Structure 1
Amino acid sequence: MLINETKNKVWHGKVKLADTFFKRFKGLMLTPNVNYALVFILPAETRTNASIHMFFMFQTIDVIFLNSAKEVVDFKKAKPWRVYIPRDAAKYIIEGPIGIIKALDVEIGDKISWIVENEMEKAVPSPSNVINGVSFKKINGTIGLAEPKPKLKEP
């Protein structure tokens, strides 16, 4: 979810982080259908670090450049096979499907934040009574599941 805190506008799409070299390197390249926002966390706040290329992109996307205070310094509709450099230094870049800029009513100076969907939140918890009935045994340096001993009824 992306939030324009200045205007109290929200885009209710999925958000992922590009917070490592390899995630930033791949970005959205070769993604056939961009249906989520990708937030790039850059190592330094400069115009050069925040420049992007649209090589190997299949569609036009919305791009928002933010400084270290998460304020918008530039935004674009980025078309494939072009290079973009923000007007001012940026620490974060948000790339996503067309419509994000309009949904958030983005303008220079707006403060943008995000909430990343945690993949673990999707997991279905197991009932605790199932887990409590399982025991673990260590045999020859390996751990294996052991069925619980049946309770004997006393006569």
Structure 2
Amino acid sequence: MLINETKERTWHGPVKLADSFFKRFRGLMLVRHVNHALVFILPAETKANASIHMFFMLSDIDVIWLDSTRRVVDFKTARKWRLYAPRKPAKYIIEGPVGIIKALDVEEGDLISWSPSEEKERAVPVKVSLPDGFSFDKGTNGMAFTESVGEVKAENP
């Protein structure tokens, strides 16, 4: 969720962070339907670091540049295959679907905050060794694994 604290306006869409080199490098390139906002956390507050390109973008996006205090220093709808730089140095960049600027009623000087959406990590199978004497065999250690509730009822008359 993105929040314009100055005007008490909120955009309730998903928000992701681009807080590493690779996430910033990838950005929203080659994303067919941008349905989330991406907050870039830049290593330094400069105009050069905050410059963006729209090469390999499949759609236009709204872009909001913020300084280190999270105040808006520039904003615009960025068109495909163009370069953009903010008018003033920026520490954060918010990129998202066209309409975010209007939804938040963004103006220069507004204070913007965000709450990243919860991202679920992919499950990775891990082999775990069991302590000696522990078994998943039926009837040992007071544990039993069943395939269905019917199997449990059949075993316990």
One-letter code aligned to 1:37: A
The answer as to whether partners of 1:11 and 1:103 remain within 8 angstroms in 2 is yes
Q: Could you tell me how far 1:34 is from its partner in structure 2?
A: 0.4
Matching residue of 1:14:
14
Scaled by the length of structure 1, the TM-score of the pair is 0.81
Find 2:141's aligned residue among 119, 144, 149: 149
Counterpart CA distance in 1 for 2:6 and 2:135 is 54
Counterpart CA distance in 2 for 1:114 and 1:108 is 17
The answer as to whether partners of 1:137 and 1:146 remain within 8 angstroms in 2 is no
Counterpart CA distance in 2 for 1:15 and 1:9 is 16
Does the C-alpha gap of structure 1 residues 94 and 145 become closer, same or farther in structure 2, counting only changes over 3 Å? farther
One-letter code aligned to 1:107: E
Matching residue of 1:95:
95
4+ runs deviating over 3 angstroms: 144-148
The answer as to whether partners of 1:41 and 1:91 remain within 8 angstroms in 2 is yes
Q: Which has the higher strand share?
A: 1
One-letter code aligned to 2:130: K
Q: Could you tell me how far 1:103 is from its partner in structure 2?
A: 0.3
Counterpart CA distance in 1 for 2:100 and 2:135 is 49
**How many percent of aligned residue pairs carry the same amino acid?**
65
SS in 2 for 1:119: coil
Q: Could you tell me how far 1:84 is from its partner in structure 2?
A: 0.2
Matching residue of 1:64:
64
Scaled by the length of structure 2, the TM-score of the pair is 0.80
Matching residue of 1:26:
26
Counterpart CA distance in 2 for 1:21 and 1:150 is 51
The answer as to whether partners of 2:39 and 2:94 remain within 8 angstroms in 1 is yes
> Does residue 84 in structure 1 map to residue 84 in structure 2?
yes
Aligned residue pairs, count = 134
CA RMSD of superposed structures (Å): 2.1
Counterpart CA distance in 1 for 2:39 and 2:136 is 45
**1:58-97 Cα deviation digits (max 9, x unpaired):** 1110000000000000001000000000000000000000
The answer as to whether partners of 1:67 and 1:73 remain within 8 angstroms in 2 is yes
Q: Could you tell me how far 1:120 is from its partner in structure 2?
A: 4.5
Instruction: Summarize the alignment of residues 29-44 of structure 1 with structure 2, pairs less than 5 Å apart.
Output: 29-44=29-44
SS in 2 for 1:146: coil
Q: Could you tell me how far 1:145 is from its partner in structure 2?
A: 6.9
One-letter code aligned to 2:3: I
